[in-house]
Amino acid sequence: MEELNKTQIVLLTLFVSFVTSIATGITTVTLMDQAPPAITQTLNRVVEKTIERVIQPASVITKEVKVVVKEEDLVVKAVEKNTSRLAFVTALKNLQSDDVASAASAKEGIGFTVSSDGYVVVDSDFANTSASSYRVRFADGRSFDADVATTSDSMTLLLLRQDKTADKNKTDGQKIIDSVKQVVGLETNPQFAPVSFGDMATIKLGQSVIALGGKTGGEVSTGIVSRVDKTASAIDAIYTNIKLSSESSGGPLLNTDGEVIGMNIARDNRQFSIPASAITALLNAFTQAPQAKP
């Protein structure tokens, strides 16, 4: 060793290290082959786990945006939705609905459409008049003559329908106009947009409601449900804290979704709303019942 220079000593050290590593590797492989399978599997698992790479998933940031819906916005939408469904009804005392004398003695009220073919429900107070014909008009200028389809057993609802005899009484000029309308594609018997009815099971004390009415349908009142009269099977009447005028009798009572939940009645010092379930029952009973041929 004393005769070796520094370079030879370094080379000798590297050679010894190389031989030692080879011997260590051979010894390790021999021991693993001789070890029980359980120990070998454990070692393999440890090796496998140490070489796995853990990749973090990309983080997604969700930002919640609160949208505040004001009650007044709901009221405006409900009114806009139902204004075109309002029907202004005139009860005439004779068949000449355009006669000046009968028009002067006519009784006027408000109702709303409940079917696309022109059925209109109104306060049955009209039935207590000597009217033999009715004129129904809408805010868009459309109108038609109507007669009584049926009334409710409690005599609080009056269902009107288009008077089909009016077509028979048309003059030759009116018939020609209708023929021209058909040629150019205009409707001679236009469809009407009916109201949508709310679920009676969702009516709660204290919920917000809207009443439409007035001679021109321009009266809007808001309030809450203050009382509900009901039996085990159905609602009989809805009461609110809204002060109704007589001109609003027959107008719809709406929820904030714009659905009709009742018809307002204001007469005989009484103010309440007939539930929508009574209106749909009256309509279904009449339209689904066999009709006599004219």
Q: Which residues contact 273 (CB under 8 A, 6 or more apart)?
A: 237, 238, 239, 240, 253, 261, 262, 263, 264, 265
Architecture of 85-184 per CATH? Answer: Beta Barrel (2.40)
pLDDT tens-place string over residues 52-82: 565 666 677 777 777 777 889 999 999 999 9
pLDDT tens-place string over residues 124-149: 886 666 666 889 999 889 999 998 88
Q: Domain extents for the chain?
A: 85-184, 200-287
Phi, psi dihedral angles at 228 (to 5 degrees) = -135, 120
Ranges 86-90, 155-159, 184-188, 253-257: which has the least confidence = 184-188
Say what the pLDDT of residue 77 is: 96
pTM for the model stands at 0.67
> How big is the chain by its Cα radius of gyration, in Å?
42
Same fold for the pair 85-184 and 200-287: yes
Say what the pLDDT of residue 14 is: 80
Under CATH, to which class is 200-287 assigned? mainly beta
